[in-house]
Chain A
Amino acid sequence: MVARERLAPLRGRIRRASALLSWAAWGTALAAVPARASDIIPVPDFTDYRVPISVPPAVEHPGWEWLSVLLLALALCLASYLALARRSRRGVYALTVACLLWFGFFREGCVCPIGAIQNVALALGDPGYALPASVLLFFLLPVVFTLFFGRTFCAAVCPLGAVQEVVAVRPVQVPRWLDHGLGLIPFFYLGLALLYAATATGFVVCRYDPFVAIFRLSGNFNMLVFGAAVVLIGVFVGRPYCRYLCPLGAVLAVCSRASKWHVRIAPTECTRCRLCESSCPYGAIELPTRPLPSRMRPAARTRLATALGLAPLLVLAGVLVGGLLALPLARLHPEDRLAERVLREDQGLVEGTTDASEAFRNTGRPVEELVADVLAIRAGFRLGGRWLGAWMGLVVGLKLIALTVRGKREDYLPDRGRCVSCGRCYKYCPEEQMTLGDLREQAEWESAETAEVASP
C-alpha cells in the first residue's frame, strides 16, 4: 500500500514526461495509432537490429486427451470383464494400480470423470462455455458402463478410488447407522457442486479434491493436509472419499441399482454359509432377510406409511429452506463478495481496499452495473437454492423409505448402490473356491460319497 502511494506521483511524472517527449518527437506519426498512443514510447528505428517476436509456447501433446479417453474406455471394458466374467480380484487390483499410475500420477489427475460432472453442469448453465467432447466422454463413459455392469469404474479405473483401495489395509466395519447417515453426504455434495458449477461460481469438487495434490506431488498446504488425512483415515475406513464424499459415486450408485449385470458374491448358488459376511470393507454386503414376525408387521406398515407421507413434506421443507439459503450460498461467488466489499468501502464501513476492489475500480465499470450483475446472480441462486433444497429433501425422504422397506432376499447379495465391484468377497465364498479347484479334494470326496450311496 505504502509503496503504491509512493509510486503514484512518480508514475504521473513519468507519464507526463513520456507523453511530452513522444508528442514533441513523434506527435504526427503517432496520431494515427489508436488507444493510449500518447503514453507509448515507440520502438526505435534500429539500424541493424531486428526487433524479436515473442511467440507463445505451443500446447504440448494436443492429442493426449483423446488417448486418455481411449484408455478410459479400454480400462472400463477390461474392468467389467475382470470383475464380472473372470471374477479375478487379482486382475482388478492390477488394473487399479495401472490406472492409478496412468490417470493419477502420469496424467496428473485432470480431467477426471468426477470433475467432468461440473463441466457438463457449467455447459448447461453458462452460455459462454463450450464443452469439449473429450470432457463429455469422460463423464458419460463411466455412467453408461455403470448402467450395464455396475460400478466397475469405481473398482478399477478411478485413480481416486485406486489410492484408497491400495491403502485400505486395516479396514474396520463402520456401524450401519453411521454408514447410512454419512452415505447421504455425496448426494448433498453433488447437488451443491452442480449448483456452483451451473452458476459459474467455481468447481468445488476440484477445489476440495484430496488426492490431486498427491498425484502431482505438490499443492498448497490445505490440499496436502486434507489428502494426508483422507489417506490416513482410509487405512482404517475403507474408501472414505468414495463412500462419504464422492459426488460421482452418488450418480453411479443410482445407475448401478438399475444395472443390467452386476457382480455376485457366489459364482453359482449361495449356500448362506455366512463366510462372506464380514469380507466387505465397504459394508456393501446385504444379509438375507428373515420374514417379519406377524406381530411386528403393523408397526412396520405404519413406519412405511410415515416415511411415504414424510417424503413430500421433506421436499417442500427443502424448497423453503433452500430459498432462504440463497444469500449464504451466493457468498462463494467472487462477484458477490466483490460487490459487498465495494459497497462497504463506498459507505465507509471498511477502511482501505482489497486487490479485488482495487482491480474493479481500475476498470472504471460503474458500481451500479456490478450490483445489477450480483442481483442477477443472487436471483439465480434463489432458484438454484430451491432446487438444491428440494433435491436434499428428496434424498432424505427416499433414504427413509428405503430404510423402512425390507426387501426379500434369500441370498447374500451385494448392495448394488454401495458395491464398487472390487471383488474382495470372491475368495471368501466356498462355491468360488470349488469352481476354482481350491477345494477340489472336498468336492471329490463328496462326489465319491454320493457315488457310493448311489451304487449298491
Chain B
Amino acid sequence: MPEAGRTDRRGFLADALRTSGGFALVGAGGFLVGRRGQEELQVWQLDPDKCTACGNCATYCVLDVSAVKCVNCFDMCGFCDICTGYFETNYWSLDTAAENQLCPTGAVIRRFVEEQSGQRFYEYTIDGPLCIGCGKCVKGCALMNGSMYLQVEHDRCVNCNECAIATACPAEAFYRIPANQVEIVKQSAIGVLERRGRQQLREADEDPQLREEGESLLARAAVQRQWRARQAGWDARQQGEEAPRGS
C-alpha cells in the first residue's frame, strides 16, 4: 500500500494510463464531432422522391399510430374535382361518401373552393390526427401531380436511434437530418416553393406578414437545395471511392 501523499510506481503508471486514456477518448470524440461541424440533434425524415408509399410506415412505427403522416403541398396540387388521391378508382359518385374514399380513416378532407368555366376546384387537406400514414392517397396522387407525400412528423416522432420504419423501408428513403433543417421536400417542390416565395415578396409591398411568409419560403427552399447538393456530393464521392475497391 502506498503511504498517504505518495504513490508507488505502479499507481503512478496506472494514473498516467487512465488520464491519457481519458484524454485520448475525449480528444478522439471531439475530433469526430468537430470534423463535420455538427452538434445539432438529428431527426428522421424520409425523402419523398424515393418513397414508394408501400404502407410500411403505418405498420412498422413503434408508436401505436405512426409518426409518419401525409402532407399536401398545396402549391403542387391541381385542386382537381376527380382527385386520384381522394377517390377510389371505381368510385360510385363524386361525393364524400365513405365508399368512394381512398383513405381508410377519412383523413383527407375535400372542400369546395371555386367554379371556373364549368370546372369545379376542390381543396384537399389532411386531418393530422386521423391520418395513419398508410400512403394510399400518396399512391393515388402520384398518378397525377404527386402533391401528396408522406413525411415524418417531428412533433410525434420519438426519434428512435434506429428507426423501425427506416429498417423496413424497401426504398431506403429514410435519412437522419440536422433538426434545424426541419424537413425534406420533393425535388420538384423546391422550385415551387421558390416561385411562391418570390410571388409573395412581389405582392407583399407593405404587408409584413406576406413578406415574412415569402422570405421563410425562400429560406426553406434554400435549405432544401443545400441538402440535395450535399447528398448528391456524398453519393458521388462514395461511389467514386468504392467503385475501384469493388471492381
Contact = CB atoms under 8 A, between A and B. Distances in A.
B163 to A, nearest CB: 9
Per DSSP, chain B at the interface is mixed
A147 B114 contact: no
Contact of A359 (B50, B71, B80, B125): B50
Contacts of B160: 110, 206, 212
A28 B62 CA distance: 48
A43 B183 CA distance: 23
Interface in A282-336: 334-335
B176 interface: yes
Interface of B: 14-15, 17-18, 21-22, 25-26, 29-30, 32-33, 36-43, 50, 52, 54, 56, 60, 62-64, 71-80, 84, 89, 113-114, 116, 119, 121, 123, 125, 143-145, 151, 153-155, 158-162, 164, 167, 170-172, 176, 178-180, 182-183, 187-188, 191, 196, 213, 217, 234, 237-239, 242-243, 245-247
A53 B217 CA distance: 9
Given A18-B144, A44-B78, A49-B123, 7 more contacts: A46-B114, A51-B196, A207-B162, A335-B172, A355-B171, A359-B50, A373-B242
Per CB-CB distance, the 10 closest pairs between chain A and chain B, nearest first, are: A130-B38, A41-B78, A355-B170, A376-B242, A356-B170, A376-B246, A203-B162, A206-B162, A375-B246, A359-B171
Nearest to A216: B62
A185 B166 CA distance: 27
A110 B176 CA distance: 14
A380 to B, nearest CB: 8
Interface stretch (A93-101, A114-122, A158-166, A443-451): A114-122
Contacts of B164: 220
A62 B161 contact: no
Interface residues of A, number: 88
Given A49-B114, A65-B41, A258-B14, A372 B242 contact: yes
B215 to A, nearest CB: 12
B171 A356 contact: yes
Given A41-B144, A218-B63, A355-B170, A131 B50 contact: no
A51 B74 CA distance: 6
A363 interface: yes
B176 to A, nearest CB: 7
Contact of B18 (A108, A111, A115, A148): A148
A375 B247 contact: yes
Given A127-B234, A372-B246, A41 B29 contact: no
B39 A132 contact: yes
Contacts of B155: 57-60
Contact of A140 (B25, B62, B77, B162): B25
Contact of B161 (A119, A144, A376): A119
Please indicate which of the listed interface residues B15, B78, B234 has the most CB atoms of chain A within 10 Å of its own CB.
B78
Contacts of A260: 14-15, 18
Contact of A202 (B42, B162, B238): B162
Nearest to A51: B74
A56 interface: yes
A422 interface: no
Nearest to A114: B161
A133 B151 CA distance: 26
Given A14-B84, A54-B71, A362-B52, A123 B32 contact: yes
Nearest to A64: B41
